[in-house]
Amino acid sequence: MYFCERFGIEIRGEIEEKPGIPPSQDYLATLIKKVTSEQIKVIFIDTIYPTKDGEFIAAKTGTKIVSSPIDLGGVPGTKTTFR
């Protein structure tokens, strides 16, 4: 959320309907309709979360998944904010 605010990215929905609870099939269907009708192009997923549901939505809608670590060192090559 802080990343999105910092860079002016609008959050249009959440894959988890409720924090920590996997989405139901009905909720995923609703998200797929939303992504399609609003022509959303990117699904942003932090690397600490599973990507299965995001990949399912992406496969149905043609969106791209962008995955990012939530902290330095979260993935190889991210030990600092500078190169």
Of the chain, the percentage scoring pLDDT greater than 90 comes to: 48
pLDDT digits (tens, 9 = 90+) for 2-27: 778 888 989 999 999 888 888 999 99
| DSSP code string of 2-25 | HHHHHHTPPP---SSSBTTBPPPH
- Domains plus CATH for the chain? 2-68 (3.40.50.1980)
Residue among 59, 48, 63, 47 nearest 13 (CA): 63
Higher pLDDT, 46 or 62: 62
User: Which pTM was predicted?
Assistant: 0.79
pLDDT at 36: 96
- What span, in angstroms and rounded, lies between the C-alpha atoms of 74 and 69? 5
Over residues 47-53, the mean pLDDT reads 84
Cβ atoms of residues 41 and 48 within 8 Å:
no
